[in-house]
Amino acid sequence: MIFIDTHTHLFSSSFDEDRSDVVERAIIAGVDKLFLPNIDITSIEPMYNLCSQFPDNCFPMMGLHPGSVDENWKKNLEVVKEHLFTRKNIAIGEIGMDLYWDKTLQEAQAKAFREQICWAKELELPIIIHCREAFEEIFEILDELNDEKLSGIFHCFTGNLEQAKKIQEYGGFMLGLGGVLTYKKSGLDEVVKDIPLDMIVLETDSPYLPPTPHRGKRNESAYLIHIAEKLADIKQIKLSQIADITTANAHRIFNLN
């Protein structure tokens, strides 16, 4: 069985002591491709360095995280653009809007999101959307900009069925499911029952959101198997089928050979 972790921050300082071991554990667990979303201008080189160290397993995605949108966002976005247009990346991300902590930069987040969507369409790359307390705001932008050139993943999807169906209507988007799916009180399992499998990819978002039974610990890509097992249980199909379908979905959305 081969899995793809479509969202993992293995370049994070949380892995400074054992990064290579973490990658090797993932490969041994059958998670042989690891997609790395950028966060801000300080994470760019660590991300690319890890991809150079493991060129067959680690793949970069370039973007400016909404949580990194500050008073210098325009200047930082130019740095992101330079790397995006001059280096090989498999997606633009993670981008989007996060209104959970602070709404003072909501307008700037929306502008940065729009700009990066335009780059995605120009480069024909999928986008990786970070959406926290911002579904309606993101839907408003996608309603305006979505077309046949736009595709992507709603990373760490924890929305309701109505929101999932809205995303499905866009045509080119999938839902990234992570550790929250394994949490008993999340209610996400009930939503996922009615989401078609051809719309789902798997992710860890490591080092964050570790799945059961690793809650309270640092997350890592090898733990993707627990998310896959939970999805197999929800859908009442074999784990091998989850591997085949979600891996094929990832290949399709990222235009992998």
Q: Which CATH class is domain 3-253?
A: alpha beta
Residue 117's pLDDT band (boundaries 50, 70, 90)? Answer: very high
Cβ-proximal residues to 28 (8 Å cutoff; 6+ apart), any chain: 222
Strand bridging mode 152-155 / 173-177: parallel
Residue 101's pLDDT band (boundaries 50, 70, 90)? Answer: confident
Query: What pTM, to 2 d.p., does this model score?
Result: 0.97
pLDDT of 257 above 90: no
Q: What is the pLDDT of residue 122?
A: 97
Cβ neighbour number for residue 82 with a 10 Å cutoff:
12
pLDDT single digits (tens) 159-218: 999 999 999 999 999 999 999 999 999 999 999 999 999 999 999 999 999 999 999 999
Q: What is the pLDDT of residue 102?
A: 86
